[in-house]
Amino acid sequence: MLDTFSKAAIRTVRPLDVAQYLRFSGWEETPRPASSDSQWRAWQRTIGDDEFEAIVPRATDRADYALRVAELIETIAVSEGREREQVFFDLLHVGSDVIRVRISDPDFEDGSLPIEEHAIVAQRTSDIVLAAACAAVSPKPVWRSRRPAEAVEQVRGIRIGQSEIGSYIVKVINRITPSLEPDSQETEEPFDRRVTTTLASALVALDNASERAAVYSEMDAFNRAVQSGVSANLCDAVSGLWGGDDSQRQLEFMFSWSPTRPVGATPIRRVGFGSDRARVIREAGRLLRERAPEEDFQVGGYVVKLDRAPDNESGSVVVACDIDGATRRISMVLSGNNYRAAIDAHRDTNLFRATGLLSKAGRTYSLELPHSITVESEQ
């Protein structure tokens, strides 16, 4: 057995993780006599007519620790009818949610891919998890430059496991806070688990929305899916795994939930996307990004139009400024000193600045809730 894994690799398996795995897999701890060796835990399981016993060392500093854990892996593999490598991975990551991202492509059948493609897949996978983490904080149509600190910090702690044969499979490993009272009704899940559940529900919603949008030409399906975690960021990241629009790749997301924190009666296990979803999801991402209001947008330009009815305190102001390399006219409603500042800026051809919520309807831009009004002379 030690010829399968090195001693150093086996020593990375932690005794408490083994105990958790056995308990959640249906094994029962055997009561120990008071005089028994306290350095071991014995577990047993009956499957049909077969009885299995597993001996688990309680400390990693024993000289024979690697040998005993190797024997344990063999016992579990035989009892469950699985490969040793699968058991070894599960023992290492029993405290983690594992998301396998499978990209089925004839060019990837041997489990390898061009180095540039690998970099793209790694980045898009990271983007997918970050989009879910942001949505776990607050669902939004798009997350622009500023991401929630909690989401960024969580993604930094997520690990990527070795790829698996079977087209190309990326393993995302998200360490989960264990539940110490699994039978209690907890009011709120820890953020690490919420990231996984948000990702799963968002992918299901994305699949449903893409089908409805394609059949009925209905963008509203994506708008409704925002509350389930769909965003322009998620659309861009998922569609990026396809590469070009003509790609025939199939995408599959498979979820293995950590047994250390119960996930519910019917957890999401798999979400698949055919290549026919690529164009729809990519376009939905573009529209969600384009139409979503942009918070704290800074307008800087020249006042080109003023309009205020007699005796009204507030009036309409139009400012011409650069947005994404093109000159756009942005309207806003100002009153009092702010409107008078716009009059002065227009009269003296000075630079006018304001900050607010930028909205777009068709080709019309408006700045809602404008504040931080300033006028700058260019002299």
352 lies in a domain?
yes
What pLDDT is stored for residue 3 in this prediction? 61
Backbone angles phi, psi at 354, to 5 degrees: -155, 155
Q: How far is CA 184 from the centre of its chain?
A: 27
Q: Do 14 and 138 have their domain in common?
A: no
**Region of residue 183 (phi > 0: left; psi between -120 and 50: alpha; otherwise: beta):** alpha
pLDDT recorded at residue 8: 86
**Which ranges of 110-268 would DSSP assign to H, the alpha helix?**
115-137, 149-156, 191-216, 220-225, 232-240
In the DSSP assignment, the letter for residue 184 is S
The domain containing residue 195 runs over which residues? 96-179+188-291
22, part of any domain: yes
Residues in the chain: 379
Buried b (16+ CB within 10 A) or exposed e, 193-224: bbbbbbbbbbbbbbbbbbebbeeeeebebbbe
In this structure, the answer to whether residues 269 and 301 fall within a common structural domain is: no
* Res. 33 pLDDT band, cuts 50 70 90: low
Is 152 in a helix, a strand, or coil? Answer: helix
Compute the distance between CA of residue 232 and CA of residue 292 in angstroms, rounded to an integer. 9
Of 281, 135, 133, 144, nearest to 221 by C-alpha is 281
| Buried residues in 277-300 as b, exposed as e (16+ CB within 10 A) | bbebbbbbbebbbebbbbeebebe
| Residue 362 confidence (pLDDT) | 78
Candidates 336, 337, 331, 341; CA nearest to 307 is: 331
Question: Residue 323 falls within a domain, yes or no?
Answer: yes
Q: What is the pLDDT, as a whole number, of residue 150?
A: 96
Q: Judge if 100 and 231 occupy the same domain.
A: yes
Are 351 and 345 within 8 A, CB to CB? Answer: yes
Do 37 and 173 lie in one domain? The reply is no
Do 120 and 145 belong to one domain?
yes
Answer with the one of 245, 273, 291 that is the final residue of a domain. Answer: 291
Q: What token pair was written down for 150?
A: 């909690």
Of all residues in the chain, what percent carry a pLDDT higher than 70?
94
Do 262 and 113 have their domain in common?
A: yes
Domain shared by 88 and 105, yes or no: no
- Give residue-wise pLDDT tens across range 356-369: 999 988 788 999 99
**Boundary (domain end) residue, out of 229, 259, 291:** 291
Question: Which amino acid is located at 12 in the chain?
Answer: T
Is 194 in contact with 127 (CB distance < 8 Å)?
no
Please tell me the least confidently modeled range out of 105-119, 135-149, 188-202, 300-314: 105-119
Clarify whether residues 172 and 256 are in a common domain.
yes
Per-residue pLDDT reduced to its tens digit, 182-233:
666 666 899 999 999 999 999 999 999 999 999 988 899 999 999 999 999 9
Task: Please give the tally of structural domains in the chain.
Answer: 3
Euclidean distance between CA atoms 224 and 32, whole angstroms: 56
> Is residue 2 a part of any domain in this protein?
no
Shared domain for 340 and 198, answered yes or no, is no
Euclidean distance between CA atoms 252 and 257, whole angstroms = 16
Region 83-103: mean pLDDT is 93
**Is 214 a domain residue?**
yes
In terms of phi and psi (left: phi > 0; alpha: psi -120 to 50; beta: otherwise), the region of 198 is alpha
* Exposure string for 107-142, b = 16+ CB within 10 A, e = fewer: ebeeeebeeebeeebeebbebbbbbbbbbbbebbbb
**116 shares a domain with 46:** no
Please check whether residue 118 lies inside any domain of the structure: yes
Q: Is residue 1 part of a domain?
A: no
User: What pLDDT, on a 0 to 100 scale, did the predictor assign at position 35?
Assistant: 53
Mark whether 268 and 168 lie in a shared domain.
Answer: yes
Region 32-55 average pLDDT: 80
Q: Which two tokens stand for residue 152?
A: 């960024």
Residue 261 burial (10 A CB sphere; 0-12, 13-18, 19+): buried
Which of 92, 112, 140 is at the close of a domain?
92
Q: Is 170 part of any domain?
A: yes
In a shared domain, residues 277 and 168: yes
